[in-house]
């Protein structure tokens, strides 16, 4: 029994009618707000429209000084353009600050302001063709829409509602790095509402994706460990009728250190519509493979990952790590690793006993050490360099 249920029981004992009324209100509230992921519905981010010519009545933001470099956000205040005048051949915008009791006024060059649309402002979407590449005749073609993603998605609801069969999104990972903006300001790692703002940002877009998808469509959303758990719960709440599956994507076999452990993967949520079906394929998407031949598929080693790079990347730096790997051309497989070659000897490329030696030599002909010692299976390292 929850604490709320117990309190209602006590109220009913003291006042039956009051208890009944409170239960009805609680039941209505429960229907409006499901249990699960709870976050604030933050004021949506504003969108800058840099291609829009500034006119009287426009809502604008003053741009930071040019030539400063970096990613400085500049003045985030919003202004209303009260009038435009021409001074010495240049357009000057007269501005009045918005949403303050005593608004400041100023005059700036029209080229130094950008038109801004908030989410409560009406935007009438339209497409302007900027170019095309025609090579396929009557074959299916690709269309690239260059726009703020929320408004681009919203525009597609007019033409493609419930007709999209696959959506792939790569949203901001919300790592705290300055690589995405909310309300045209950065969501920093020390922002108390960082996760809540990110969820509000995602929810608005995923709701539109849901309107675009067919019943047999699939949505794929990539993410890393910073928001993977929250995104999973959000998807469950937004598309409960779909089947959600989390998969890992090995994108850096060498590993990236974050915290105590190194990780080699990121994640992708596959959200299958109620009528979606998936077929089977031979490729496990994990093993590097060559084309199939009469003997079957051959595994392809990761030679680039085998060579040491960066510091200590020359033969003289690791004298005991310069050795041949013997390759059997008749089977197309690696046989074994040879012994390390003394520093004063030159590598011999002549075949021996039907095996061809492969030395760790780069394209610029510099001799370099390998990452694995000869006692370790060279084939294991070539296929699984993160082990």
Q: Does a structural domain hold residue 132?
A: no
Q: How far apart are CA 164 and CA 156, in angstroms?
A: 10
Kindly state whether residues 215 and 189 are assigned to the same domain: yes
> Which of 272, 295, 330 is the C-terminal boundary of a domain?
272
User: Which residue reads 């310069």 in tokens?
Assistant: 322
The answer to whether 193 touches 176, Cβ cutoff 8 Å, is no
Kindly state whether residues 260 and 306 are assigned to the same domain: no
* pLDDT, position 183: 46
Q: Would strands 213-223 and 164-169 be described as parallel, antiparallel, or unpaired?
A: parallel
Query: What spatial distance separates the first Cα and last Cα of the chain, rounded to whole Å?
Result: 49
Q: How far apart are CA 306 and CA 280, in angstroms?
A: 32
The answer to whether 81 touches 93, Cβ cutoff 8 Å, is yes
Kindly state whether residues 384 and 324 are assigned to the same domain: yes
Q: Cβ contacts of residue 105 below 8 Å, gap of 6+? A: 82, 94, 95, 96, 97
Judge if pTM exceeds 0.85: no
Judging by beta carbons within 10 Å of its beta carbon (0-12, 13-18, 19+), is residue 311 exposed, middle or buried?
exposed
Kindly state whether residues 258 and 218 are assigned to the same domain: yes
Q: Does a structural domain hold residue 83?
A: yes
Q: How many domains does the chain have?
A: 4
Kindly state whether residues 158 and 104 are assigned to the same domain: no
Tokens representing 311? 């510091």
Kindly state whether residues 97 and 15 are assigned to the same domain: no
- SS3 of the chain: the string is CCHHHHHHHHHHHHCHHHHHHHHHHHHHHHHHCCCCCCCCCCCCCCEEECCCCCCCCCEEEECCCCCCCCCCCCCCCCEEEEEEEEECCEEEEEEEECCCCCCCEEEEEHHHEEEEECCCCCCCCCCCCCCCCCCCCCCCCCCCCCCCHHHHHHHHCCCCCCCEEEEEECCCCCCCCCCCEECCEECCCCCCCHHHHHHHHHHHHHHHHHHHEEEEEEEEEEECCCCHHHHHHHHHHHCCCCEEEEEEEECCCCCEEECCEEECEEEEEEEECCCCCCCCCCCCCCCCECCCECCECCECCCHHHHECCCCCCCHHHCHHHCCCEEEECCCCEEEEECCCCCCCCCCCCCCECCEEEECCECCCCCECCECCCCCCCHHHHHHCCCC
Tokens representing 117? 């649309």
Kindly state whether residues 89 and 196 are assigned to the same domain: no
Kindly state whether residues 260 and 369 are assigned to the same domain: no
> Which of 272, 294, 316 is the C-terminal boundary of a domain?
272
* pLDDT, position 387: 38
Q: How far apart are CA 221 and CA 278, in angstroms?
A: 17
Q: What is the CATH number of the domain that holds 95?
A: 2.30.30
* pLDDT, position 321: 82
* pLDDT, position 67: 64
**pLDDT digits (tens), the chain, 387 positions:** 466 777 888 898 889 899 888 888 887 776 665 556 776 666 667 788 887 899 999 999 998 887 655 445 567 788 999 999 999 999 999 999 988 888 899 999 999 999 988 777 777 777 888 888 888 888 888 889 888 888 889 889 999 999 999 999 998 887 766 555 554 444 656 666 778 888 888 998 999 999 999 999 999 999 988 889 999 999 999 999 999 999 998 887 777 776 778 888 899 999 999 999 888 776 666 655 544 444 555 545 555 556 776 666 788 887 788 888 888 888 878 788 888 889 888 899 899 988 999 888 877 788 877 766 665 444 444 444 443
Kindly state whether residues 356 and 316 are assigned to the same domain: yes
The answer to whether 226 touches 212, Cβ cutoff 8 Å, is no
Kindly state whether residues 26 and 60 are assigned to the same domain: no
Q: Does a structural domain hold residue 130?
A: no
The residue segments making up the domain with residue 253 are 149-272
Q: How far apart are CA 378 and CA 325, in angstroms?
A: 8
Q: What is the CATH number of the domain that holds 190?
A: 3.40.50.150
CB-CB neighbours of 334 under 10 Å = 19
Q: How far apart are CA 201 and CA 119, in angstroms?
A: 12
29 CA to centre of own chain: 35
Nearest residue to 234 via CA among 272, 273, 196: 196
């Amino acid at each position: 029994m929850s604490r709320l249920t117990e309190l209602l029981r006590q109220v009913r004992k003291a006042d039956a009618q009051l208890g009944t009324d409170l239960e009805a209100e609680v039941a209505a509230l429960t229907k409006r707000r499901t249990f699960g992921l709870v976050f604030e519905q933050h004021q949506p981010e504003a969108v800058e429209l840099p291609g829009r010519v500034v006119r009287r009545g426009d809502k604008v933001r003053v741009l930071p000084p040019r030539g400063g470099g970096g990613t400085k956000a500049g003045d985030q205040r919003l202004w209303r353009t009260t009038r435009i005048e021409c001074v010495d051949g240049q357009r000057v915008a007269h501005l009045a600050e918005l949403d303050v009791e005593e608004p400041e006024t100023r005059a700036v060059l029209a080229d130094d302001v950008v038109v801004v649309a908030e989410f409560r402002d009406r935007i009438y979407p339209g497409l302007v063709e900027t170019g095309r590449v025609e090579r396929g005749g009557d074959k299916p073609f690709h269309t690239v829409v260059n726009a703020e993603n929320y408004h681009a998605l919203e525009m597609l609801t007019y033409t493609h509602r419930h007709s999209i069969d696959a959506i792939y999104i790569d949203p901001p990972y919300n790592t705290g790095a300055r690589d995405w903006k909310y309300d045209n300001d950065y969501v920093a790692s020390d922002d108390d509402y960082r996760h809540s703002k990110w969820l509000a940002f995602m929810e608005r877009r995923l709701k539109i994706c849901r309107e675009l998808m067919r019943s047999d469509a699939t949505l794929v959303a990539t993410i890393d460990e910073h928001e993977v758990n929250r995104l999973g719960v959000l998807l469950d709440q937004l598309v409960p009728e779909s089947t959600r599956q989390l998969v890992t994507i090995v994108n850096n076999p060498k590993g990236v250190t974050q915290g105590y452990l190194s990780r080699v993967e990121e994640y992708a949520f596959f959200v299958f519509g109620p009528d979606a079906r998936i077929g089977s394929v031979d490729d496990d998407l994990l093993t590097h493979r060559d084309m199939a031949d009469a003997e079957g598929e051959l595994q392809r080693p990761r030679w680039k990952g085998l060579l040491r790079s960066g510091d200590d990347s020359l033969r003289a730096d690791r004298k005991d790590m310069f050795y041949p790997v013997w390759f059997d051309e008749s089977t197309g497989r690696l046989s074994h690793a040879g012994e390390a070659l003394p520093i004063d000897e030159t590598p011999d490329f002549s075949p021996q006993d039907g095996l061809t030696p492969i030395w760790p030599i780069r394209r610029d002909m510099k001799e370099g050490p390998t990452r694995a010692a000869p006692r370790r299976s060279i084939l294991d390292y070539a296929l699984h360099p993160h082990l």
